[in-house]
Chain A
Amino acid sequence: MSKAVKPLSIILLAIVVAAAAAVYLSRQPNPVTETSAAPVLDNKGGGHFRGPEKAAITLVEFGDYQCPSCGAYHPVVKELMNRYPQQVRLEFHHYPLISIHPNAMAASLAVEAAGEQGKYWEMHDLIFEHQEEWSANPNPESQFLALASRIGLNANAFMQAVRSPQLQDRVLQDVVRAREAKIEAVPTFFIDGERIHVPLSINAFVDIIEARLHK
């Protein structure tokens, strides 16, 4: 028994030191997000809006439809919009990271094309909800078309819009905005122009919104 005391003490000590080191490292400001990304987003326009124009809070999201993290945040943001239908307005900007997400640009164009027929947010939701299905497909156009049909879009007009240079420009303008804001990771959120780091939980979003509403 006494023989085991020393190793057991070392093991316990190591666990405590490792935990302290991990807590210390996790509390360090991230050099990518804290030093290179702009803490404040200048209002440069663009984006698509969901929620009332005169909402007390504007939540800006820079997202990539093929990014699993954005897909994970999507139901949380949607739930937030349901909880604060009058107080929060969502402004979504495309930031397709095409170097790691080859279908992200096509997905952004599909959503923009749906927007041309007045169904931007319906397609936005569907694209995120079916992300896993189309992400692995080297040619996801037919899947986007099937999703477009589900929300009653005109297939010909949708396909024409997908190939339209104007829509491509619209997405690229968002990419320029993201780069100007030095955004490195997606999704990146801003509330009323101020960058926020929100854990993947509805409660965390609610806490931030409540704090802003009662400021």
Chain B
Amino acid sequence: MKLRAVLMALAAFLGMVDALFLSLQRNAGPIPCHITKGCNDVLTSRYSAVVGIPLSWFGLGFYVTVFSLAVFSIFETGQPAGNPLRWIFYLSGIGLMISALLVGIQAFTLRAFCEYCLLSAGLVLTIFLLSPHASPRKHSP
């Protein structure tokens, strides 16, 4: 279980770098893609922000939360609030649905892909797959 938590923390750390990079780049001019086509189209589309807040900031919040939960799980200090890894499961489940929606918007609405966004979707999927789907851990009295 500890290895899973370490891997989830690593994925969340990469996600933090990706989300911060996108937040910094957002107002720094056009962002050409290296692998995909249409980074600018995606990152400046009307779907790239919610109530004026860029999605990358929400992503950053998600990754910081997941990273924190994973680290607390590694040090086993999250017991009063329940198993932190289970929280990661629920959070990444929601994150995965949002990521799927955003990839769908890229594919079918914008018809352009942003590699940084796809990386983020891949990291959310990785975190979700690493999170335990098992029944709640039984606590000793």
Q: Which residues of A contact B (CB under 8 A)?
A: 3-4, 6-7, 10-11, 14-15, 17-19, 21-23, 25-26, 30-33, 67-69, 71-72, 97, 99-101, 132, 136, 184-188, 197-201
Contacts and interface: CB of A to CB of B under 8 A. Distances in A.
Given A7-B72, A25-B17, A186 B111 contact: no
Given A11-B67, A198-B29, A69 B44 contact: yes
17 contacts: A3-B75, A7-B74, A11-B64, A15-B64, A18-B13, A22-B16, A22-B20, A26-B21, A26-B25, A71-B44, A99-B37, A100-B41, A136-B109, A186-B40, A187-B30, A198-B29, A200-B27
A67 B40 CA distance: 8
Contacts of B68: 7, 11
B124 interface: no
A36 to B, nearest CB: 9
Contact of A67 (B24, B25, B33, B41): B41
Given A11-B68, A23-B24, A68-B46, A18 B17 contact: yes
Interface of B: 9, 13, 16-17, 20-21, 23-25, 27-34, 37-41, 43-46, 64, 67-68, 71-72, 74-75, 77, 109-112
Contacts, number: 100
B37 A100 contact: yes
B114 to A, nearest CB: 11
Contacts of B41: 67-69, 100
A97 B37 CA distance: 10
B44 A200 contact: yes
B77 A3 contact: yes
Given A22-B24, A25-B21, 12 more contacts: A10-B71, A11-B64, A11-B68, A17-B13, A22-B16, A22-B23, A31-B34, A68-B40, A68-B44, A69-B44, A100-B111, A199-B29
